[in-house]
Each structure stands twice: as C-alpha cells, then as structure tokens.
Amino acid sequence: GNSVTQMEGPVTLSEEAFLTINCTYTATGYPSLFWYVQYPGEGLQLLLKATKADDKGSNKGFEATYRKETTSFHLEKGSVQVSDSAVYFCARWDSSYKLIFGSGTRLLVRP
C-alpha cells in the first residue's frame, strides 16, 4: 500500500550534534515528499519539500534528498540547536486529496 515510515523516537542529542531522521515511503510513481515540524503546543508547519527524484529540499539548516532508488527522504542537519527540539513528520500525498503522515519523531536537543 501507500505509506510513510519514520524512525521511532525520541531522538536525544547534544547541541551541535549531527541529526538524521530516517523516512521511507511506498508508492506507485514518484509523489512529492515533505517534512513538517511541530513545536510544543503548536500546529504543524512545513519545513521542506521535494517534488521529484533527486531534488533536495532545504530550510533552516535542515536538508532532505528525494532518493527514488531507496525510496527514502531522510532529514539531516549538521549542527542542531536546542530550539530544534520538536516533533518531525515525514509525509506524502496518498491521492489528490489526502496527505499521509509518518508517525512522527520527537527530537530533544540538550544544551
């Protein structure tokens, strides 16, 4: 079926550490892929996206590359900050009308 799978959290890192949050998807074709971020007590906001294979989305120091060979869209950041503590969701469109999210990965960055 069509789904999105994320690594389970929580992920706990020290400030300035390197971050990777894994995301893989199953789909027919090559859907657009997204990373959303949810800060404590807030709604979700788009972090970055990639619309076709080999595209790299980037924002606020975060990056993710759309890799069709491995059906992956892993989120990375070279040096995390305490303010990056949040829940991160990988997502793809399941049809024209439904955005399907992964289960979310909580990131906790310690000073």
- 32 scored as a contact of another protein (CB under 8 A): yes
Beta bridge partners of 18: none
Beta bridge partners of 74: none
Burial of 1 (0-12, 13-18, 19+ CB in 10 A): exposed
Which residue, 90, 101, 97, is CA-closest to 65?
90
Q: Which stretch binds another protein (CB under 8 A): 14-22, 53-61, 67-75, 98-106?
A: 98-106
Closer residue to another protein in complex, CB, 41/111: 41
Query: Which residues between 36 and 75 bind another protein (CB under 8 A)?
Result: 41-46, 49, 51
Q: Which residues bind another protein (CB under 8 A)?
A: 32, 34, 41-46, 49, 51, 89, 93, 97-104
